[in-house]
Amino acid sequence: MAVLTAVVKIAKSIIEAGGSVVGFRGFTEEPAHSTQRLPGGVELRRYEARVAAETTVDDPDEESARRIGFQRLAGYIFGANHVDIGAPKRAPVVAQFRGGRGEKIAMTAPVTQYASPEGQWVIRFFMPSAKTLESLPAPDDPAVSLVTAPAETIAVRRFSGSTSPDALAAQTAALVQTLHDQGLEATDSPAVWFYDPPWTLPFLRRTEIVIPVRPAA
């Protein structure tokens, strides 16, 4: 058993060193934040306002909606965009993705997903911190929009393994219980943050359940 554990640790180190083979980490920017640790492996994080590209998907299947949303947003950052007339001119990096020849925008992590009050799925890519709403090109796809995510305090439960709807529901329930135990008040619905592409080995994945909470007085 000890030998098997050692082999798994070595394999994990080798695969993680590959970076692009297993996920975004090591190569992509994450939004800056401050962190406070709570019992049960939960973190409280404080994020300032961030710019994001998002799309709403009307699909009852959670995983299908995530795939559709990811494709739309990936199209935007890989060139399906344009500079509006009157916007400041920049030297674009020409790229092609699903026919797009606009500016290429660096991928960041995480990719987020949450259910809207109307029961649709909202998928979101955060933009690089150097970007603003004014400097970003406009999406070619009318289903993609640029938004400012407000500053917020969130409770985060990190895990690896399956990201099936049942697994996400179980992790969400565990985070809700921790918030109850700590006397923290949720201010919005849960979201899921994904840090790796779907082909990542389950035990290497980094996934987080996120619930906005009321900051301590």
Asked whether residue 162 falls in the same domain as residue 187, the answer is yes
Q: State whether the Cα torsion 77-79-84-86 is positive or negative.
A: positive
Asked whether residue 123 falls in the same domain as residue 174, the answer is no
Among 119, 145, 171, the domain-final residue is: 145
Tell whether 173 is covered by a domain.
yes
Tell whether 22 is covered by a domain.
no
Radius of gyration in angstroms for the set of CA atoms belonging to the chain, rounded to a whole number: 18
Tell whether 197 is covered by a domain.
yes
For residue 174, give its domain range: 27-47+151-212
| pTM, 2 dp | 0.80
Q: How many domains does the chain have?
A: 2
Quick one: which of 136, 128, 130 has its CA closest to 83?
136
Burial class from Cβ neighbours inside 10 Å (0-12, 13-18, 19+) for residue 197 reads middle
Q: In whole angstroms, what is the distance from residue 58 CA to residue 118 CA?
A: 10
Residues 80-101 pLDDT 10s:
999 875 544 333 333 333 445 8
Residues 114-148 pLDDT 10s:
999 999 999 999 999 999 999 999 999 999 999 99
